[in-house]
Structure 1
């Protein structure tokens, strides 16, 4: 067997963290309603840092 270095796998995490959150996942993560989660995701789009901040503010 040889080590074939021409085939490199893409990191799985990169594909997940590039886009906006899934509404159901975000709602469960912050323990908020799906409607609130959808509004936050629509407002902040793919900016996960700002979306998480908004989710934490609502969940308190």
Structure 2
């Protein structure tokens, strides 16, 4: 098997990080209510970094 660098395959991790969080998963991760999680996800969309920041602010 050759190591052909011309064929680029998108890693699964990149595909996941481009999608918005699931509400229940996000709520459990930050120990917040589903309603708060839904609001954060609607506000930040697929920007997981900003969504995590907002989740940490609420969970404190």
* Shorter-chain TM band: 0.7 to 0.9
What TM-score do you get using the length of structure 2 for normalisation? 0.80
Deviating 4+ runs (over 2 angstroms): 4-10
What TM-score do you get using the length of structure 1 for normalisation? 0.80
Match of 1:18 in 2: 18
Name the Cα RMSD after superposition.
1.7
**Structure ID, larger Rg:** 1
Q: Any unmatched runs of 5+ in structure 2?
A: none
Q: Any unmatched runs of 5+ in structure 1?
A: none
